[in-house]
Amino acid sequence: MAEIGWQGIRITVPDDWEPGEFSGDGQSGHMRIDSMMQPRALVRWLAPSATKDVFGKVATPIQGVDRILDNYIKALTKGERKQKKHIEADTSTRLLSKRKMGQRTVRTYSWRCPSDGRLAHGMVWHCKECGRTVIAEVNGHEHEDVAGWAETILPTVTDHAMDGQVLWAFFDLRVLVPEEFRLENSVMVGGKVELRLENGKREVISAQRWVANVALRGGDLEAWAKRDLFKPLRQQHTFKYTADSWFGHPGIRVDGRRKGPKEHLGFMWGRITGRERPFFLDGRIWHCEPTNKIHSLHTLTRESNRELIDRIQETMRCHPED
């Protein structure tokens, strides 16, 4: 089984299921997980502001959850009707036991489409801690064990940071990041997976995973890092590269600093006043030959937060079994 994490949502799925689509932000959005070119799991999360009217008009949270589920089924039925298909929904199903649902007050449901044999089992709940409302379902066809998948997968879905850390995990990139960092950009193309996050203090975390033979093009790790990875940053930073190893694989340590007299003056002034600005770029890059992957992590931080890269790297994985 593999864990996928995005915007505070976590879900554990079979190893051969992969992210198909991400959208939205930490407030509202959805993720779709596919297998064999078919949607297998869907998770939608709604911001407190989007459901305020619903929960403000009911006596208990579970009544609000009921309304969210009714609205979801109506929207699903309407969408299928436009394609001249009929949905049979059951909102009284009890697929998951109270033990598996834990402390959450949820509603479970199922739906099927007789014309093409599609089938889904799902659940809806409202989180008291983060305020989001979550809809999670597992999809398949009547000849598949959709109920079995749902019983295994749906209880693994969680909806907010744990111990102040948010998991970002997809396509062999896995990292736990402090919850104050927000997603600024993500890339999933051409052998490259990248995640860039920032906080309100302009600190940056960048985690990447590359297909090694595509990235290196016959060269070594340092030459690749200078040519492709840090080239866009050379105008603003000076770099020092040192051979090292990570997770038992050859790698390089990168020490970068902002350059220019104004930057250094700002750094010294920040030290005196306690109003630090991001000044130090720390990087770790290693080549995992058995999996043909290059893993890269770098942070741009204040002097007082330079240990951030160590805390993050400890949560990374080179191999799925690590």
Claim to verify: residue 150 and residue 174 sit in the same structural domain: no
What is the Cβ-side half-sphere exposure of residue 256, based on CA atoms within 13 angstroms?
24
> What are 290's two structure tokens?
């058995």
The pLDDT of residue 250 is 93
Rounded Cα distance between 122 and 95, Å, is: 9
Rounded Cα distance between 265 and 18, Å, is: 48
pLDDT-derived band at 219, boundaries 50, 70, 90: confident
Angle at 96 between CA 92 and CA 97, to 5 degrees: 105
* Length of the chain counted residue by residue: 322
Domain boundary among 133, 156, 179: 156
- Residue 269: phi and psi, rounded to 5, are -65, -40
Rounded Cα distance between 153 and 157, Å, is: 7
How many domains does the chain fold into? Answer: 2
Percentage with pLDDT > 90 across the chain: 68
The pLDDT of residue 217 is 84
| 273 is a domain residue | yes
Whether residue 269 has pLDDT greater than 70:
no
With beta carbons less than 8 A apart as the criterion, state whether 48 and 131 touch. Answer: yes
Tens digits of residue pLDDT in 21-72: 999 999 999 999 999 889 999 999 999 999 999 998 999 988 999 999 999 9
Host domain of residue 181: 165-313
| 319 is a domain residue | no
Rounded Cα distance between 276 and 202, Å, is: 10
Identity of residue 206 = S
- Residue 130: phi and psi, rounded to 5, are -100, -15
> What are 88's two structure tokens?
């049979």
pLDDT-derived band at 260, boundaries 50, 70, 90: confident
Encode burial over 255-269: b for 16+ CB neighbours within 10 A, e otherwise: ebebeeeeeeebbee
| 318 is a domain residue | no
- What is the model's pTM? 0.90
With beta carbons less than 8 A apart as the criterion, state whether 241 and 221 touch. Answer: no
Whether residue 262 has pLDDT greater than 70:
no
With beta carbons less than 8 A apart as the criterion, state whether 203 and 305 touch. Answer: yes
> What are 322's two structure tokens?
């690590």
Cα 16 versus chain centre, distance: 17
Whether residue 100 has pLDDT greater than 60:
no
Claim to verify: residue 181 and residue 151 sit in the same structural domain: no
With beta carbons less than 8 A apart as the criterion, state whether 166 and 5 touch. Answer: yes
Identity of residue 209 = R
CATH of the domain at 245: 3.40.1000
With beta carbons less than 8 A apart as the criterion, state whether 299 and 205 touch. Answer: yes
With beta carbons less than 8 A apart as the criterion, state whether 137 and 125 touch. Answer: no
pLDDT-derived band at 231, boundaries 50, 70, 90: confident
| 232 is a domain residue | yes
Claim to verify: residue 20 and residue 60 sit in the same structural domain: yes
| 111 is a domain residue | yes
Claim to verify: residue 80 and residue 125 sit in the same structural domain: yes
The pLDDT of residue 99 is 59
pLDDT-derived band at 253, boundaries 50, 70, 90: very high
With beta carbons less than 8 A apart as the criterion, state whether 199 and 180 touch. Answer: yes
